[in-house]
């Protein structure tokens, strides 16, 4: 999620035009759409995708609160209103922020950046798994649950916190499907989730109750990734 698609829903044309002009100068904005009320927004939503809705409360035909009650899977919402009394009701719809008019552009940017971070996190969480064929089934495995992967003759064993899955593939192929900053090859036969390493014992990694070897030629790189400047030594 690199750039945001923003929908402005407000019955004041000058407010929309001014905000659109300011937003168009920002690197995080991909597209800006407009609607003068909630009904117009709902009618157009089937034709465009948006990440953020910046909406007013008091609008003709359909208010902002009525709009929120009609959305089953709404995008992220920032309410911009001159009426403070609707704030509590707005947060019941899980809006990201409630801004009181007149609002500075810097204040709005803080909300937009917050939404951008939320969407980045959600996207990352959505991608944090793989499906593998094991025991004649396609099984979903979360990255965080993988302890290590061991290569055998013509298959690999994926050891998770709760199961052991046999997958007929190569260590190289499965490594290419994993985030390289978390899963590190420690030996020609092993890939380890470095977040699951409990201790380092010589050339062995303690991963849960398992001991995983570290090859001599990979030792420095593996240890640097695991320790990541968190080693405390005597002064």
Mean pLDDT by 10 residues, the chain (235 residues): 84 92 87 93 84 92 90 87 90 90 87 82 72 90 94 95 94 89 93 94 94 94 81 59
Establish if 51 belongs to a structural domain: yes
Instruction: Write the DSSP string, 63-123.
Output: -HHHHHHT-SS--EEEEEES-GGGHHHHHHTT-SEEEESS--HHHHHHHHHHHHHHHHHHH
Domain shared by 8 and 120, yes or no? yes
Say which CATH number the domain at 85 has. 3.40.50.2300
Predicted confidence at residue 74, as pLDDT, reads 81
Domain shared by 17 and 99, yes or no? yes
Establish if 233 belongs to a structural domain: no
- Quick check: 7 and 41 in contact, CB under 8 A? yes
Establish if 162 belongs to a structural domain: yes
Name the domain count of the chain: 2
Domain shared by 18 and 101, yes or no? yes
| CA–CA distance, 197 with 183 (Å, rounded to integer) | 11
Residue 97: how many other CB atoms lie within 10 Å: 20
Residue 91: how many other CB atoms lie within 10 Å: 13
The last residue of a domain, from among 126, 141, 168: 126
- Quick check: 66 and 89 in contact, CB under 8 A? no
Tens digits of residue pLDDT in 106-125:
888 888 888 888 887 776 66
Could you list the residue range(s) of the whole structural domain that residue 175 is in? 130-227
Tokens linked to 32:
């800006």
Domain shared by 174 and 213, yes or no? yes
- Quick check: 171 and 180 in contact, CB under 8 A? no
Q: Is 222 exposed, middle or buried (0-12, 13-18, 19+ CB in 10 A)?
A: buried
Percent of the chain with pLDDT over 90: 54
Predicted confidence at residue 119, as pLDDT, reads 80
């Amino acid at each position: 999620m690199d750039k945001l698609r923003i929908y402005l829903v407000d019955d004041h044309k000058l407010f929309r035009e001014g905000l659109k002009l300011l937003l168009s100068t920002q690197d995080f904005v991909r597209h800006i759409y407009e609607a003068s009320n909630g009904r117009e927004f709902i009618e157009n939503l089937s034709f465009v995708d948006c990440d953020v809705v910046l909406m007013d409360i008091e609008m003709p035909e359909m208010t902002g609160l009525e709009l929120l009650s009609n959305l089953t899977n709404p995008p992220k919402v920032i309410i911009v209103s001159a009426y403070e009394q609707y704030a509590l009701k707005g947060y019941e719809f899980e809006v990201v922020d409630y801004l009181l008019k007149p609002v500075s552009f810097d204040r709005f940017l803080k909300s937009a950046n917050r939404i951008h971070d939320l969407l980045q996190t959600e996207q990352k969480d959505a991608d944090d798994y793989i499906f593998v064929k094991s025991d004649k089934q396609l099984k979903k495995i979360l990255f965080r649950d993988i302890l290590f992967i061991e290569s055998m003759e013509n298959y690999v064993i994926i050891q998770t916190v709760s199961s052991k899955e046999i997958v007929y593939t190569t260590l190289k192929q499965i490594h290419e499907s994993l985030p390289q900053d978390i899963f590190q090859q420690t030996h020609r036969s092993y890939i380890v989730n470095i977040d699951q390493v409990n201790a380092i014992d010589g050339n062995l990694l303690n991963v849960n109750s398992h001991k995983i070897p570290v090859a001599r030629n990979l030792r420095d790189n593996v240890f640097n990734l695991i320790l990541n400047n968190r080693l405390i030594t005597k002064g």
